[in-house]
Amino acid sequence: MNLKTIGYALGITILAAACNKYRTQVTKDGLKYQVFDHEDDARKAKLGDIMSFHLVLKNGSDSTLRDTYKEGTPVKMVLQAPPFKGSFEEGLAMLAAGDSAKFMINADTLFAKMMQPLPPMIKKGSELSFTVKVLSVLTSEEFQKQQSEVGVKQKAIDAKVIEDFIAKNNLKAKAQKTASGLYYIPEIEGSGASPAQGDNVKVHYTGKFLDGKEFDSSKKQGKPLDMTIGAGMVIPGWEEGLMLMKKGAKGLLLIPSGLAYGPDTYGPIPGNSVLQFEMELIDFSKGAPAPAGPAVPPAK
């Protein structure tokens, strides 16, 4: 084959790839899709990998139902086997790091598989479009390592933010720091014992950002919160902080992001936010003892 022939063949290949770009195609299982960007040599996702991607979800009227670009936090998702033919997961399995594409899925089929009724903003017989931009593809081990490294860096950042807040507000004399990086500043000591894992507590709280802007308060809801320590009902900083308090105590918890909502946006709370909670432990009662585990032989 001479150079002219090679050039012609290469031109045909490039032209074919260009024609497929943006063209609506259908997989053998019925998933409709359009490819915007694709690299053949990029790392393709496999089952069990963690994919990070931005997502724009629209209904059949082109109204946006979700936009992670505006939310500021991409989706992190473990790639699983498609739960039904033509599912979103089938589309994700086609993509590699850096790829972008749109998947069109029948709304009736999707919500039937989810065993949920169609929401009011989604018409019967319409299609939902999922436009995806893949940021990264990592194995479980790689993801855990990455999260650990990021967590160590963020913990140091949060510590400096809290220390500056304490200095600015003249709280150093009262501040109690735990090994996890949580700070407790008591206002009223309370009396008696402190609650422990499994105990049922009744608390009033007001959550604020460090600039003083309030985002949640049980007092505005008109009643205290009843919860069980150690049941995973609240953020870890609360679990630890409440066990530092006594009945009747009031105080301030300064919670680093790793003990709060972490790197992801949660409602009005941006990722990596250090938070302050004004806490009042109204009362608590001992919870049921944990069931006995299997007998453990003594160490030799």
pLDDT tens digits for range 273-291: 999 999 999 999 987 544 4
Q: Are residues 121 and 212 in the same domain?
A: no
Residues 15-28 have a mean pLDDT of 69
Q: What integer best gives the mean pLDDT of the chain?
A: 86
Asked if 284 is an active-site residue, the reply is no
Q: Are residues 63 and 153 in the same domain?
A: no
Asked if 211 is an active-site residue, the reply is no
Query: Which pairing describes strands 50-58 and 75-78: parallel, antiparallel, or unpaired?
Result: antiparallel
On the question of pLDDT at 31 being above 90, the answer is: yes
On the question of pLDDT at 293 being above 50, the answer is: no
Point out the least confidently predicted range of 21-30, 131-140, 173-182. 21-30
Q: Are residues 115 and 154 in the same domain?
A: no
- Domain span holding position 255: 142-285
pLDDT in the model for residue 265: 82
50 inside domain: yes
Q: Are residues 116 and 175 in the same domain?
A: no
Catalytic residue among 215, 264, 266, 269: 215
222-to-53, 196, 278 alpha-carbon distances in Å: 40, 26, 16
Q: Are 274 and 257 in contact (CB under 8 A)?
A: yes
Give the residue from 138, 170, 203 where a domain finishes: 138
Catalytic residue among 216, 266, 269, 282: 216
Residues 212-234 have a mean pLDDT of 91
Query: With b meaning 16 or more CB within 10 Å and e meaning fewer, what string describes 48-67?
Result: ebbbbbbbbbbbbeeeeeee
On the question of pLDDT at 17 being above 60, the answer is: no
Q: Are residues 263 and 166 in the same domain?
A: yes
Q: Are residues 258 and 246 in the same domain?
A: yes
Structure tokens at 113: 């598989």
Asked if 183 is an active-site residue, the reply is no
Asked if 205 is an active-site residue, the reply is yes
Q: Are residues 133 and 146 in the same domain?
A: no
Asked if 69 is an active-site residue, the reply is no
Catalytic residue among 88, 103, 277, 284: 277
Give the residue from 102, 117, 138 where a domain finishes: 138
Catalytic residue among 88, 205, 255, 284: 205
Q: Are residues 119 and 245 in the same domain?
A: no
295 inside domain: no
Catalytic residue among 88, 143, 261, 284: 261
Residues 36-54 have a mean pLDDT of 89
Number of domains in the chain: 2
Query: With b meaning 16 or more CB within 10 Å and e meaning fewer, what string describes 166-205?
Result: beeeeeeeebeeeeebbbbbbeeebeeeebeeebbbbbbb
230-to-84, 195, 198 alpha-carbon distances in Å: 37, 11, 6
Q: Which of 294, 176, 180 is nearest to 239 (CA)?
A: 180
HSE (CB half, 13 Å, CA atoms) of 288? 4
Q: Output the domain CATH number for residue 129.
A: 3.10.50.40
On the question of pLDDT at 64 being above 90, the answer is: yes
pLDDT in the model for residue 20: 57
Give the residue from 107, 138, 169 where a domain finishes: 138
- E strand map for the chain: 25-26, 32-37, 50-58, 64-67, 75-78, 100-106, 127-138, 176-177, 183-188, 200-209, 214-217, 225-228, 250-255, 275-285
Catalytic residue among 50, 122, 166, 235: 235
- In this predicted model, which residue has the larger pLDDT, 83 or 163? 163
Q: Are residues 11 and 32 in the same domain?
A: yes
pLDDT in the model for residue 169: 95
- In this predicted model, which residue has the larger pLDDT, 10 or 113? 113
Asked if 166 is an active-site residue, the reply is no
Q: Are residues 221 and 130 in the same domain?
A: no
291 inside domain: no
pLDDT tens digits for range 76-131: 999 999 989 999 999 999 999 999 999 999 998 898 888 888 889 999 999 999 99
